[in-house]
Chains A and B, each alone.
Chain A
Amino acid sequence: MKELEKTQRISISTVLFILVIIIGILTFKKPTNVYEKSAKDTLAILGTQEYLVPISEVDPTNTVLIDVRDKFEYSKSHIDNAYNIPTADILKETSISIFEELKDAGKDIVFYGKNPDEANSAWMILYQLGYENIKILNNQTELVDNNFKITPYDVKQPIPDYMDVFKKGNPENSNGLEHMAPETTKKVIVIKKKKKRKPEGGC
């Protein structure tokens, strides 16, 4: 009889175990929008300039322009034939289905905002989700006098003469160029080496 009691306990826990698994499977939802690209792959493409297209190279027949600015900005003015999907909405089901459709149709998508910075995040997220046909418009857009102006934009250019600012106040000092920029102190940061884990007892 004692033996039976023991199996009773085992049976109860077995039933609970299986119940939890069944409940889990019934309530299980597959994750949507899974990353296709690893962070490393993405970094590799970021090093190139392939994902940036200037407006002059946009082929209007095979490209869909998407405005990632908010609805208000879009309603004021936008590039002709551009759709509006604000950055916050890019993962909505309706937007995803649009991207999916365009991808299947083999069309290119070009994101633009007021500058490439604004389209950057939306593009990065969708690129990592595997939409390789999306690019960023490498132009600045601006509403000037009711004219939607598109100007070229250079993404990573530093201000050409930003070192000159240190020359101020001593313009005649011409041969002291190496002293122009103040030496900046560099932090020395020590990383603790990962300690090897000592194996601990066991049964």
Chain B
Amino acid sequence: MINRNLAKILAKRYIILASLLFIAALGLVLLPEYKKNEHVTAEDLLAKVVNPERYITSDVLADKIVTKDPSILLIDLRTPKEYEAYTLQGAMNIPFDKILEPDFEGYLNQDQYDIVLFSNGNFKADQAWLLLTRKNYKNLHVLNGGINGWYNTILNPPKPTENMPNEAFERYNFRMAAASYFGVGNNTGESAVADEPEARKVVIPVMKKKKRKPEGGC
């Protein structure tokens, strides 16, 4: 009895399987739509925002520039005019309102360099950092204080007073040395030329993130 029923069903097995396939496809049509998050979810973004790790202090950055650390890429978010007037050594200019343009994607979306974004203050650099992090770009950092902070700490550091601990003096000495490296107070003609690092051309191959391409074939 059972066998006969089973045989009956089995006789139609292909039709059953075929209809299952169709039902599965139909299910896809009937599923309610919802809006999806692209890239980084707001929760993950917030977790990254709260973490102060993205900030790099100007002292650390100055040290990296002086020692010619090849792994950092400085991005100046200010206007081209401000960039022309003064910028950090080796920085490239991507004006803030152009950061999402595809031309610059190759620089910003890569995993070979530690990118340091800076602007006049933290405000614009933070916003750029948020926008780019939302797109899941990696290795982005923000220069804490921006150019103004750079000025106040490296180029024109406040003199420590007598009652400050030793480290303050050490830091001050470091900053003074860094400042002279960056050309503060030594533009008396020949010395400026001597101190100016020769216009080296650093060629950095920034590769577009390769999409993994599957190879066809059967």
Contacts and interface: CB of A to CB of B under 8 A. Distances in A.
Contact of B43 (A91, A121, A168, A199): A91
A202 B184 contact: no
B42 A33 contact: yes
Contacts of B130: 121, 124-125
A91 B97 CA distance: 27
Interface in B118-152: 119-124, 126-127, 130-131, 134-135, 147-148, 151-152
Contact of B89 (A39, A116, A184): A184
Given A18-B24, A166-B183, 10 more contacts: A7-B14, A34-B36, A157-B120, A176-B187, A182-B183, A182-B196, A187-B90, A187-B202, A188-B202, A192-B205
A82 B38 CA distance: 34
Interface of B: 10, 13-14, 17, 20, 24, 27, 34-38, 41-43, 45-46, 49-50, 73-74, 78, 82, 85-92, 96-97, 99-100, 106-107, 119-124, 126-127, 130-131, 134-135, 147-148, 151-152, 155-156, 179, 182-188, 192, 195-197, 199-208, 213, 215-218
Interface residues of A, number: 68
Contact of A159 (B78, B148, B205, B207): B148
Leading 4 A-B pairs by shortest Cβ distance: A203-B218, A182-B183, A169-B185, A191-B106
Contact of B92 (A90, A158, A186): A186
Given A31-B37, A185-B89, A187-B73, A173 B46 contact: no
B188 A173 contact: yes
Contact of A192 (B17, B91, B148, B207): B207
8 contacts: A31-B41, A39-B131, A42-B131, A125-B45, A128-B42, A184-B87, A185-B202, A197-B213
A42 to B, nearest CB: 6
A145 interface: no
Contact of B100 (A43, A157, A183): A43
Interface in A121-143: 121-122, 124-125, 128-129
A182 B185 contact: no
Contacts of B208: 191-192, 194
